[in-house]
Structure 1
Amino acid sequence: MSLLLVPTCEDEAADMIRAAAEAKRSLAISGGNTRSGFGQQVEAQGVLRSPGLSGIVAYDPAEMVLTARAGTPVAEIDEALAENGQMLAFEPMDHRPVMGTSGEPTIGGIFATNTSGPRRFVAGAARDSLLGVRYINGRGEVLRAGGRVMKNVTGLDLVKLLAGSFGTLGFLTEVTFRVLPRPQDQRTIILSGLDDGEATRAMAIAMSLSVEVSGAAHLPESVRGRFLNATLPDGPATVLRLEGLAASVAVRAEKLVATLQSLAPISQLDAEESRVLWQEIRDVKPYVDGTMKPLWKVSVAPTSGFQLVAALRLQAGIDCFYDWQGGLLWMRMESEPEGELVRHVMHQIGGGHATLVRASVDMRATENAYEPLPAAVLALQARIKSQLDPAGIFNPGKMARG
């Protein structure tokens, strides 16, 4: 059984990591342990978790910058921001429903995995909001990268490397990030009855307009009925979100409807119905089904996603819906992960990035969960890893492979 380590301060965490490095004892790094199924399942000799490092360190709403210890629950961050009419712009997904996990998502875990939601294609990913970090490297040294404002670029590249590294390069202890004002109002425009290709073209038209669409997704008939808390009309639904001041949202909605009304029947969701729908899209509600059927997160060019799905449907049993204007595909396979097939077809249509988010333990043992890297990139990754974690103790099984 792995030794559980839950430090209550940064120095204690550094001592634990230093001791592990000296003993060459591998450590699984986690926050709230809500993404425990990611990557290959390699048994670590110890588990180092961050919930003991919790609390907001500094927050000035006027600056729109917040600093928190890595183990701070995301719910606590959201509450503090809501009190000041602000939010996390990148709209991070809660993986617990689809992964079947428990625990509390932490702000460090969000940045360590670069978790981003429906607004990501216009507001940027989690790493784009990250300004600075404190972290402990594989030698047990406490280091700092970045700062509290965007113009302070010291160490910015290292900040970007740590974001999305899944704890393979260091143990985050503190994060500093920018936040944005929370929209006063939101509305969702629904186009009904479009097939995947037609929906892709409709979303492209919407994004070309000066109406500031902040969410663009297509929900085929196979998944439309699984958004149980959102009222959607019959048939496939192509959904477009507008946010901002109430008067502005109304004017932009009118312009969007006028442009798209010749393509399909149109209906609308009000602010509360819209909020519920986009939360369910964010958390991949259609595939919260109590199973471990393989679930892929595939990023491709927005105009080619429907081509990938069409090609795969000829060769494998899949179900899918589209986010990020068609550039993000959530694909559930009926039986096997079919990773080789998914990546082969994906590269045939122009390339992309496929990550196996969910699968059984046996499937994860044989399937490459992360997109294989070219030899040159793999070599660079190895050099970075050797500098930051020379003993190779952090998060075995979480590195992308060639």
Structure 2
Amino acid sequence: MTTFTPSAPAEVLSTIQWAAAEETPVEILGHGSKRGIGRPLQAEHTLDLSKLTGVTLYEPAELVLSARAGTPLAELEHLLAENGQQFAFEPMDYGPLLGGEPGQGGKNGTIGGVLASNLSGPRRLKAGAARDHILGVAAVSGRGEAFKSGGRVVKNVTGYDLSKLMANSWGTLAVLTDVTFKVLPAAETEVTLAIRGLLDDAAVAAMALALGSSAEVSSAAHLPERIAARVAASRLSSDAATLLRIEGFGPSVDYRVEALKQLLGKADPLEEIAGDASKTIWRDIRDCTPFADAGARPVWRVSMAPSHAHRMVMALRMQAAVDAFYDWQGGLVWLSMREDDPEAELLRGLIRRYGGGHATLVRASAPHRAALPAFEPQPPHLAALSARLKAEFDPKQILNPGRMA
């Protein structure tokens, strides 16, 4: 096995051209923080992008940042924080959940990996995901052809938006060499309102009420009983916690918090959490810390309509031993199986029964990852479209073959 470590886009191009000519599979790797997601690869060679680093453009006044694809996410977040800015989509760190340390000493993933896996966090309700903030990319297709899409300005019209096509492709269509993201100012003030003791159905109703108000809630999550104690070093204790985050300028936040308290006055008791304590809670929710137990028990990431997800979880609990908590107003469910069986057929069957959605097997043993579709199987018409895209970008199937299907 050979590991290629290019430090310039031209070296990426020459490596892929060689692999395409030889028709030899290549694993595309950044820091490997998400290597355990998807089917195990059996590639002869590895293309390690961890040395393809560096900020190529940062204009804080223009809200634009460009960097090589292998640049550590932690490095870029630190740079943005120094300038009072952020990636508003709040990309999660998969490291702790998949057996690493938080941040992994700066190895919590690369900016190319952020786009390739379309990362987002609790703020997705308001800000969207990585694909909603990408402005442009430079990449090399599986044909060994370099291409660019988009640009370095927020308003950009390019016809086919190949930049967004790279989102959630997991390195199966092209190798990213450069990415350009829109960045936004960080909030001056952050406050979290916690409602204690609600059951799942009541929590979903409370979150819907808050999100439907004029309070501009940026994040809404529900941690059932005992799960709440697993975030922020047990800051929340074990009682169920329904959490609402309000961000912005100080006076505006104060006004909106008071408005929410009036709206949710019957949902007693209400607890107000501010500053670093609030940030820690949402970071732990973002990174699925309640299930980051250094074990190998299966963990699922399920996306469904918020009004149906908690009903699906209740039905699942009747047939399998499972822990769960909710983000995105209840539309994102993190599930941890207490046994070694991922229960894939049961889970996906219940998702279909309760309105549809998709489930990704984020953590499991290698045998389960090899035997099960980790990503939601596509209906025939979408699978045919995906196959045509794969044939256009990577006809010899040399890039991360078999990872997604």
Q: TM-score range by the shorter chain?
A: over 0.9
State how far apart, in whole Å, the 1-side matches of 2:44 and 2:393 are: 20
Whole-angstrom CA distance in 1 between matches of 2:307 and 2:153: 36
Give yes or no for the alignment of 1:333 onto 2:337.
yes
One-letter amino acid matched to 1:322: Y
SS in 2 for 1:82: helix
The CA deviation at 1:234 is: 4.5
Q: How far apart in 2 are the matches of 1:356 and 1:399?
A: 11
Counterpart of 2:42, as a letter, is E
Counterpart in the other structure of 1:389 = 394
Distance 1:233 1:247, change over 3 A: farther
Question: Which residue is equivalent to 2:148?
Answer: 144
Unaligned runs of 5+ in 1: none
Identity within the alignment, %: 48
Following TM superposition, by how much is the alpha carbon of 1:155 offset from its aligned partner in structure 2, in angstroms? 5.0
- Equivalent in the alignment of 2:92: 93
Q: Distance in 1 between matches of 2:160 and 2:211?
A: 30
Counterpart AA for 1:242: I
Name the amino acid aligned to 2:196.
S
Q: Partner letter of residue 33 of structure 1? A: G
Q: Counterparts in 2 of 1:115-134, with a 5 A limit?
A: 115-134=119-138
The 8 Å contact of residues 230 and 273 in structure 1, kept in 2 or not, is answered as: no
Residue 239 of structure 1 corresponds to which residue in structure 2?
A: 243
Residue equivalent to 1:34: 33
Deviation (angstroms), 1:230: 5.4
Deviations 1:221-265 (A, max 9, x none): 131111143521551000000001111111100000111020231
In 2, Cα distance between equivalents of 1:230 and 1:314: 28
Q: Which residue of 1 aligns with 2:74?
A: 75
Tell whether 2:383 aligns with 1:378.
yes
SS in 1 for 2:360: strand
Instruction: Give RMSD over aligned pairs.
Output: 1.1
**Counterpart-to-counterpart distance in 2, 1:148 and 1:363:** 42
SS in 2 for 1:329: strand
2:168 to 164, 180, 184: 164
Match of 2:372 in 1: 367
User: How has the CA–CA distance of structure 1 residues 118 and 339 changed in structure 2, closer, same or farther, with 3 Å as cutoff?
Assistant: same
Give the match for residue 347 of structure 1: 352
Query: Could you tell me whether the CA contact under 8 Å between 2:227 and 2:238 is conserved in 1?
Result: no
Contact 1:219 1:236 in 2 (8 A): yes
Aligned to 1:109: 113
SS of 2:142 mapped into structure 1: coil
- 3-state SS of the aligned residue for 2:397? coil
* Whole-Å separation in 1 of the counterparts to 2:277 and 2:108: 26
In the TM superposition, what whole-angstrom CA distance separates every residue of 1:189-237 from its partner, at most 9, and x where no partner exists? Answer: 0000100000000000000111111110000013111114352155100
Distance in structure 1 (CA, Å) of the matches to 2:381 and 2:108: 37
The code of the aligned residue for 1:320 comes to A
CA spacing shift, 1:156–1:191, aligned 2, 3 Å: farther
Moved more, 223-232 or 331-340: 223-232
Question: What secondary structure does 1:153 align onto?
Answer: coil
CA contact (8 A) 1:192 1:234 kept: no
TM-score by length of 2: 0.96
Q: Does 1:61 align with 2:60?
A: yes
* Equivalent of 1:179 in 179, 183, 207: 183
- How far is the alpha carbon of 1:139 from its aligned partner? 1.9
| Alignment deviations for residues 160-189 of structure 1 (CA, whole Å, 9 cap, x no partner) | 111110000000000011011000010000
Match of 1:192 among 196, 206, 218: 196
Mark the CA change 1:155 to 1:94 in structure 2 (over 3 Å): closer, same or farther: farther
Checking the alignment, whether the CA contact within 8 Å between 1:146 and 1:156 is kept in structure 2 is no
CA contact (8 A) 2:229 2:235 kept: no
> Hey, what does 1:257 align to over in structure 2?
261
Secondary structure of the 2:277 match is helix
